[in-house]
Amino acid sequence: MSAAHDIAVRTQGVDISFGSGETKVTALQQTEFTARRGELIMLVGPSGCGKTTLLSVIAGTLTPQAGTVEVFGQRLDKMNQEQLTAFRRKHLGFVFQSFNLIPTLSVVENVMVPLLIQGVGHAEARRRSLIILEKVGLKGREDGKPNALSGGQQQRVAIARALVHEPPLLICDEPTSALDKDTGAQIMEMVRELSRSPDRCVVVVTHDFRIFRFADRIAEMEDGRISRVVDDPSTIESQHHG
Ligand SMILES: Nc1ncnc2c1ncn2[C@@H]1O[C@H](COP(=O)(O)OP(=O)(O)OP(=O)(O)O)[C@@H](O)[C@H]1O
Ligand SMILES: [Mg+2]
């Protein structure tokens, strides 16, 4: 067990279901999940087991029907919408499974959004966004529109946007799904570096066993619950390599 002061994220007894009656789907069932300060934890499990739903709960975009959600000592389940919005702006970076780039903005403008929302000036926001775009290998593509980019390039824009304001809680849903092995490893190096502070935490959902080695721990999910937590991820990767 982690001591309370080591904990970055904790859900207890969280229930989420969608719909009602015959069409009711239970996505999370009394879900207990803990992420520590300064760690990069991965969440793995079969399609439909509730991974994205759990990410939405700890990001404060879905409110559970039961249970508690604590992020850096703050109870999200007790916040109203206004408080949740303020919380997300200050604390959260989110790389969506579907990228969610804004098509009418240029690449660099997409990355600037979280900084502008935080009140950073336009010139400074652009300067910082160009630096991170170069880090993710997109120098020269800044002023084009996202839909002119390949899937992997769009994914890197989404990652740059989530990282640019160095959020305390970074949540990534399949961040390397469209990336080759080397690009995926470079991105994960950046993401891991961000996690290395007691004021930070990174949660990554992935099916990509090639990046398991970047995890401090791996939580396995099954039917809406965490079924097992692996403390030594290298053992999982070696199983996949045979
Ligand atoms: N908005 C929604 N309305 C209805 N059902 C939903 C909704 N979101 C998720 N579900 C259902 O909840 C369950 C968990 O979905 P979730 O998206 O969390 O799975 P996942 O583990 O992220 O899967 P994948 O690996 O395919 O992304 C699924 O049965 C899904 O159909
Ligand atoms: Mg998902």
User: Which three-class secondary structure state does DSSP give residue 117?
Assistant: helix
Q: At what angle do helices 107-117 and 122-135 cross, to 10 degrees?
A: 130
The strand pairing partners of 25, in sequence order, are: 18
Distance 27 CA to ligand 1 centre (A): 7
Q: Which of 186, 160, 180 is nearest to 172 (CA)?
A: 160
Retrieve residue 84's tokens: 């949740």
Can you give the pLDDT at residue 240? Answer: 54
Condensed to tens digits (0 to 9), the pLDDT of residues 100-151 reads: 999 999 999 999 999 999 999 999 999 999 999 999 999 999 999 999 999 9
Instruction: Report CA dihedral (118, 83, 16, 170) to the nearest 10 degrees.
Output: 30
Choose which residue among 49, 55, 205 to substitute to test ligand 1 binding: the one with the highest number of ligand atoms within 8 A of its C-beta: 49
User: Which three-class secondary structure state does DSSP give residue 13?
Assistant: strand
Q: Is 224 in the pocket of ligand 1 (CB under 6 A)?
A: no
Distance 46 CA to ligand 2 centre (A): 9
Domain boundaries 4-241, CATH class: alpha beta
CB 164 within 8 A of CB 129: yes
Condensed to tens digits (0 to 9), the pLDDT of residues 187-230 reads: 999 999 999 999 999 999 999 999 999 999 999 999 999 999 99
Q: Is 7 in the pocket of ligand 1 (CB under 6 A)?
A: no
For atom 29 of ligand 1, the residue with the nearest CA is: 48
Distance 47 CA to ligand 2 centre (A): 7
Instruction: Specify the ligand 1 atom closest to the Cα of 53.
Output: 18
Q: Is 49 in the pocket of ligand 1 (CB under 6 A)?
A: yes
How does residue 242 score in pLDDT terms, banded at 50, 70 and 90?
A: very low
Condensed to tens digits (0 to 9), the pLDDT of residues 167-182 reads: 999 999 999 999 999 9
Q: Is 27 in the pocket of ligand 1 (CB under 6 A)?
A: yes
Domain chopping of the chain, boundaries: 4-241
Can you give the pLDDT at residue 5? Answer: 80
pTM: 0.94
Q: Is 18 in the pocket of ligand 1 (CB under 6 A)?
A: yes
How many Å apart are CA 50 and CA 103, to the nearest integer? 28
How many Å apart are CA 118 and CA 186, to the nearest integer? 27
Q: Is 47 in the pocket of ligand 1 (CB under 6 A)?
A: yes
Q: b/e for 36-65, b at 16 or more Cβ within 10 A? A: bbbbbbbbbbeeebbbbbbbbbbbbebebe
Distance 174 CA to ligand 1 centre (A): 14
Sign of torsion, CA 113 125 89 177? positive
Task: Kindly report the number of other CB atoms within 10 A of residue 5's CB atom.
Answer: 8
